[in-house]
Structure 1
């Protein structure tokens, strides 16, 4: 990532866990199974192959048309590699917060450093679950950095223009061109330099 000071980014990334007064409702097993399947990115056909249950059976369970037998639940937990109690956890309630923050072109908060010229985006929002920002990469050589950059969370990088060389602690350096992207564990040491004639421009999204 960057040599951006963590106090400039992470105070706004506090994730609230307040649940309020949840009402206890009967668990809808089919709805819960569908939520688990989709969280794994599986189609009914793929889940059928993993669990050994017929696609039609899975569909009927998810649509509350039939109740699964204990044997069927065992196949589900083994095939999806989950614990049985997970099937009985209430589905997550999603509620819209209505939050929105528009940042016009070149109107983000500037934060220049020795290797990057950052533009922080969506700075009006607090308690964000991610931090997006654009950066112009000034660094031109590995030696421009005194050490690997590493911090908590995951990070996504998209090259908007120019070319970069992406260095990471456990992989060989890789060249990324305009339109290329990389998602990585930011706890792993990483850094990048511009390898094009002009300074590369990238979009970064950091999430805790």
Structure 2
């Protein structure tokens, strides 16, 4: 339920408190008697337009300020939340293409999800479909070199010490660049969605399931392909000696 608009008296008290004035000091500055100001502050009296104009002019305020609701919002509570994170105590998620190390997981309802990721996938075929999820993310390359593929931009290569910030709802994938067996990055994912971490975990499960299907298809193709020893040898030209 919305709170009632502050009265003129409440606004005058707020101004006086902010400036550190006594009623007498405000009276001297505004030219309005102390008794009148006291009655106004206690909502027992109001001021005519002429007196309001005089008050605003003498105090260096706009007339509108005397009727405006205070826009001072209560400061957010200090929650004193803190969490120390390291690889040894991270929640580890392994997939064929990545190893994820989720940090500071004991804190619930985080607006930022910090994660160390080891990237091995080298091609979009290995990676599978581009991923999408709520929010935005920042990725900083700790070691190695990666290729960032996104839905609306050309691929970009990032070396150690370089970073990228993207809209996570845009399809994206991180690949190890040519010549790099494994890259390690620090990612910070942020969203107003309180269930972001659960969404990411579900995404990992889908990636793992898709990777298993791709591996099985690859194995079937390999079995169906004749082994080198079974393949017909190419014809050889043999010259007659006669």
- Give the TM-score band, short-chain normalised: 0.5 to 0.7
From 125, 128, 131, the equivalent of 1:143 is 125
Gaps of 5+ in 1: 1-20, 32-64, 74-84
Max radius of gyration: which structure? 2
Q: Does 1:119 align with 2:101?
A: yes
Choose the corresponding residue for 1:175, options 140, 145, 157.
Answer: 157
Does structure 1 residue 156 correspond to structure 2 residue 119?
A: no
1:130 aligns with 2:93: no
**1:199 correspondence with 2:182:** yes
Distance, in Å, in 1 between the alignment partners of 2:162 and 2:63 is 47
CA distance in 2, matches of 1:133, 1:179: 17
- Once the two structures are TM-superposed, the CA of residue 90 in structure 1 deviates from its matched residue by 3.2
Aligned residues: 137
In the alignment, the residues of structure 2 paired with residue 157 and residue 205 of structure 1 have an alpha-carbon distance, to the nearest angstrom, of: 6
Instruction: Write out per-residue CA displacement over residues 98-145 of structure 1, whole angstroms, 9 at most, x where no aligned residue.
Output: 111112343311101121100010011111111111000011111113
Measured in 2, the distance between the counterparts of 1:88 and 1:182 equals 40
Distance apart, 1:69 and its partner CA: 7.6
- Matches of 2:142 and 2:187 in 1, distance apart? 10
Q: 1: CA distance between counterparts of 2:63 and 2:164?
A: 43
Larger relative contact order (CA 8 Å, sep ≥ 6): 1
Moved over 3 A (4+): 24-28, 65-70, 87-92
Q: Distance in 2 between the 1:68 and 1:202 partners?
A: 53
More helix by share: 2
Indicate conservation of the 8 Å contact 2:147/2:174, yes or no: yes
TM-score by length of 2: 0.50
Query: Where in structure 2 are there 5+ consecutive unaligned residues?
Result: 19-58, 192-242
Matched residue of 1:144: which SS? helix
Q: 1:106 and 2:88 equivalent?
A: yes
Alignment of 1:18-167 (within 5 A): 66-67=60-61, 89-91=71-73, 93-167=75-149
**CA displacement at 1:66 relative to structure 2:** 4.8
Alignment match of 2:168 (pick from 183, 186, 189): 186
Work out the CA distance in 2 between the residues paired with 1:103 and 1:158. Answer: 17
Give the structure with the higher percent strand. Answer: 1
RMSD: 3.0
